Amino acid sequence: MSDVNPMRPAAYQPDERARLRLIGEISKMAVSDLPSARVFTTALERTLQTFGLDVIAVYAGEPLTLRMQVGGVPARSGTAVPVGLALLAAAERKVMLVKDFRAEERWAPPPWASNAARAEVAIPIAYRGRRVGILDLCSPRADGFAEADLDTLGTVAELLAVIIAQESWGRVEVSSPELQRAYQRLQEFSELKAHILRNVSHELRTPLTLIKGHLELLLDDGPQALLSEQRKALLAVCDRVDDIVAIVDRTVSLSPTDDLSLAYERILVGDLLGEVVEAFERRARDSVVTLNVQPVARDLYLYGDADKIRQLCYNLLDNSVKFSPNGGQVTIQAQSEGDNVHFIFADQGIGIPERQLSQIFETFYQIDGSTTRRFGGLGLGLTVVNRIVDAHKGEIWVESEVDRGSVFHVLLPQNVPQEQR
């Protein structure tokens, strides 16, 4: 395996116009109302023709299996991917290239390539930071992939990621009556869950508001009315009531059927982050994790729902600290990036195994779901974060390494998106 070699016989090289045409065609199809399976196959066929390839295969799932193939020797969909370049690309999360199988004998083409295959490239297909598949291409020519080809193929992989994300392959094809019934039951459960969450939230919030009111009355009674120890104890109770209210609020904003309506306003990002960190430090007085807030440009602003974005930042900060070791450091950043504001929450904590990266945003999902788990929480924080990001038409992704730490990225449009105006 070796670095990309830009030198290659010119006759095989699609020119710039052919490359642009390919990208243009796939982009157009991706936003059309054609069925996604058709868009996918056509995109692969056009790529095969443009680059004169032997075979293109797409793998997905855990473990990786063959999902779609164009050219080469037909194989059954669902066949496990053998040890080779594609698995390495998945493990390393980067593009892997074999320039010539004859020169690099420890590599063999995948079984669905024809005998003519000489070079191979495997490209991770990633959406919002998580791998959704691998694009595997074989060329009948040694040195069959030039640097410019890899650029174009990288863009093809990005477009395929969007198509996969739109029409997730994880979704069940509702074909047989049994599946249809199961699907309907699932939907009923989901509605029931939302209903229970709403009711429980309401039932809890009312008495909590009352408790908080009485506590505040007691605390407002002037310094002489309470001994300092009593005042301290009441303040601690107040803080814990706030914690419960925050949990209840998270569940209220969860109902999958409710629209998360936003109250847009101009927000100064530095001020907002300052408030979040201050609120966090007030609540987590005994934390042994250092918060490192990077300076934010004074005039960095965005239009969004301030309460919701505060909650988003709070939840991410809360997780970063919760999953950090004692003495660890959490870095918080916000910067302008094109038309967006990019928030970053980086910790040096326990990290997240790659295969679980896609699941942590699911409702009630926790990596360690045992009753003896070390960390508190309900598995709701990230679901809420994800919903707030979606409502703002933003993006969220995470990079993580077990025992090294996690970095959560959030991109929020700086201005009100066209469709929300």
Q: Return residues touching ligand ADP (CB under 6 A).
A: 319-320, 323, 347, 349-352, 360, 365-367, 377-383, 406
Q: Nearer Cβ to ligand ADP, position 101 or 408? A: 408
Q: Least separation, in Å, of the C-beta of 318 and ligand ADP?
A: 7
404 three-class SS: coil
Q: Least separation, in Å, of the C-beta of 323 and ligand ADP?
A: 3
Q: Which distant-in-sequence residues (6+ apart) come within 8 Å of 113 by Cβ?
A: 54, 55, 72, 73, 120, 138
Q: Least separation, in Å, of the C-beta of 354 and ligand ADP?
A: 12
Structure-token match 């694009």, residue found: 135
The alpha carbon of residue 136 and the mean position of all alpha carbons in its chain are separated, in whole angstroms, by 23
Are 226 and 218 a contacting pair, CB within 8 Å? yes
Q: Least separation, in Å, of the C-beta of 99 and ligand ADP?
A: 39
Q: Nearer Cβ to ligand ADP, position 81 or 346? A: 346
Q: Least separation, in Å, of the C-beta of 208 and ligand ADP?
A: 19
Q: Least separation, in Å, of the C-beta of 129 and ligand ADP?
A: 13
Which token pair is 296?
């934010």
Q: Least separation, in Å, of the C-beta of 254 and ligand ADP?
A: 11
Q: Nearer Cβ to ligand ADP, position 299 or 403? A: 403
Which residues in 35-61 are b (16+ Cβ under 10 Å) and which e?
ebeebbeebbebbbebbebbbbbbbbe
CB-based contacts of 340-343 (< 8 A; 24+ apart in sequence): 340/394, 340/411, 340/412, 340/413, 340/414, 341/269, 341/300, 341/302, 341/411, 341/412, 341/414, 342/409, 342/410, 342/411, 343/313, 343/316, 343/409, 343/410, 343/411, 343/412
Q: Least separation, in Å, of the C-beta of 397 and ligand ADP?
A: 13
DSSP E strands: which ranges in 144-300? 265-268, 290-293
Q: Nearer Cβ to ligand ADP, position 232 or 404? A: 404
Q: Least separation, in Å, of the C-beta of 133 and ligand ADP?
A: 23
Which token pair is 397?
């992704």
Q: Nearer Cβ to ligand ADP, position 74 or 327? A: 327
Q: Nearer Cβ to ligand ADP, position 57 or 384? A: 384
Q: Nearer Cβ to ligand ADP, position 103 or 378? A: 378
DSSP H helices, 220-326, are 228-252, 269-283, 306-322
Q: Nearer Cβ to ligand ADP, position 226 or 252? A: 252
Which token pair is 142?
């040694």
Residue type, 98: V
Which token pair is 404?
């090294």
Q: Nearer Cβ to ligand ADP, position 231 or 283? A: 283
CA distance 344 to 340: 13
CA distance 174 to 184: 10
